[in-house]
Amino acid sequence: MPFPADPVLFAKLADAIVEAGRHVVIEADRIRVLEGVQKDPENPTTDLDRETDALLLRALTAAFPPGAFPAYLSEERSDDGLRLSAGDVFLVDPIDGTRNLVAGRREATISVALWREGDLAWGCVHQPFLGQTFTAVRGGGAFLNGMPIHATTIGRTEDARLFLSRHEHRRGWLAPLEGRVRYEAVGSCAYKMACVAAGLCDGTVTVHPRSEWDVAAGTLLVQEAGGIVTDRFGHPYRFNQPDVRVHGVVASGAALHPALLSLSSFLDAGDSAEVTSGRR
C-alpha cells in the first residue's frame, strides 16, 4: 500500500541524516573506541556512534510536531519496549560500518527507516564519504541523490557481481564461494543493500545474524527498486519485533533471488554471535 506522500517531511528527514553525515566525515579521523561498554570486541562502540545518534535523535525529532515524534529504536540505545505499542517507529543505525572507520576505511553509512502501522514507510541510507543518499517511499520508488534507481535483471549467479561482507571475507567465511561467484568485499550491510537497489551490484548475501536497524532502510530501497529481500531461509522480514535479530540477508533483483538463496546453502552460519551487530 502506498504511504501517504509528505515530501516536506521526507526532505527534512533526509536533510537531518545528511547533516549528521557531515559530522561523521569531519570527525572520522579522531574516532575513539569506548572501552568497557561493548560485549564483543568485533562490534566496537565508539564516541562517534554515540554523538551521531544524539544528532539524529534531535534532528529527526525536530521534523515532527510536538508530541507526534515516532518511537526510536537505535543500535546505540537500550530498548525499553515502548516502541512495540507505537504506531510509528524509527529504526536507526547511526553508523553502520563502525569497524571500517576504526580501521581507517571510509566504508560506513547512516541508515534510518520509518516503520508505520505494520510496514516500512520511508527509508534512507546515506554514505557521507561518497556523497550518496539513497531514499525510498513505500509505493513511491527508490532514488539515489534524487534520481530513480532499479535493481538489475540478471538471473544467474555466474553472471552476477555480488557485494559481500568485508568482515566475513577477512575471517575466511566466504571461502566456500571462491570460484562459484564474482564478488567484492564491501563494508556496511546497509550500503550493500542500497547498492543492490541502485544496480551498482547484482546482489548481496550473508547467513550471519543482523539486526533490524541494519536492514530496515535497505529492505525498503531494494523492494521499491524492484528487487527482493529475505532472510537466509527465504522468509520476508517483519519489523518492530520484540527480538530485533534477523537471520541473515539475501537481497537482489527478483530474477536472481532464487539462485542467491541456493548459493547461501554453501555458507555456514555456525556460532555467529560475534557478527550480530546488536549490542543490546
Choose the most confident range, by mean pLDDT, from 62-76, 142-156, 176-190. Answer: 142-156
The segment(s) of the chain belonging to CATH 3.30.540.10 are 7-146
Over residues 91-119, the pLDDT tens digits come to 999 999 999 999 999 999 999 999 998 99
What is the percent of the chain with per-residue pLDDT over 90, rounded to a whole number? 76
What is the percent of the chain with per-residue pLDDT over 70, rounded to a whole number? 92
Q: What is the pLDDT of residue 43?
A: 78
pTM: 0.93
Statement: 157-275 belongs to CATH 3.40.190.80: yes
Q: What is the pLDDT of residue 155?
A: 96
> CA neighbours within 13 Å on the CB side: how many for 266?
14
Q: Does residue 39 have a pLDDT over 60?
A: no
pLDDT grade, residue 274 (50/70/90)? Answer: very low
Over residues 69-86, the pLDDT tens digits come to 999 999 998 888 889 988
Q: Does residue 275 have a pLDDT over 80?
A: no
pLDDT grade, residue 4 (50/70/90)? Answer: low
Q: What is the pLDDT of residue 280?
A: 35
For the segment 168-196, the average pLDDT, to the nearest whole number, is 93
Q: Does residue 67 have a pLDDT over 80?
A: yes
The segment(s) of the chain belonging to CATH 3.40.190.80 are 157-275
Q: Report CA Rg, the chain.
A: 17
Q: Does residue 246 have a pLDDT over 80?
A: yes
Q: What's the CA gap between 107 and 95, in Å, rounded?
A: 10
Q: What is the pLDDT of residue 178?
A: 86
Per-residue CA distances from 246 to 36, 218, 238, 255 (Å) = 26, 14, 9, 23
Q: What is the pLDDT of residue 16?
A: 97
Homologous superfamily of 7-146 in CATH?
A: Fructose-1,6-Bisphosphatase, subunit A, domain 1 (3.30.540.10)
Q: What is the pLDDT of residue 78?
A: 85
Q: Rounded mean pLDDT of the chain?
A: 91
Cell numbers standing for residue 189: 550491510
Sequence letter at residue 146:
G
Q: What is the pLDDT of residue 122?
A: 97
Q: Does residue 252 have a pLDDT over 70?
A: yes
Q: What's the CA gap between 216 and 206, in Å, rounded?
A: 15
| Spatial contact of 209 and 248, defined as CB atoms under 8 Å apart | yes
Q: Does residue 272 have a pLDDT over 50?
A: no
SS (H, E, C) the chain: CCCCCCHHHHHHHHHHHHHHHHHHHHHHHHCCECCCCCCCCCCCCEHHHHHHHHHHHHHHHHCCCCCCCCEEEECCCCCCCHHHHCCEEEEEEEEECHHHHHCCCCCCEEEEEEEECCEEEEEEEEECCCCEEEEEECCCEEEECCEECCCCCCCCHHHCEEEEEHHHHHCCCCHHHCCCCEEEEECCHHHHHHHHHHCCCCEEEECCCEEHHHHHHHHHHHHHCCEEEECCCCCCCCCCCCCCEECCEEEEECCCHHHHHHHHCCCCCCCCHHHCCCCC
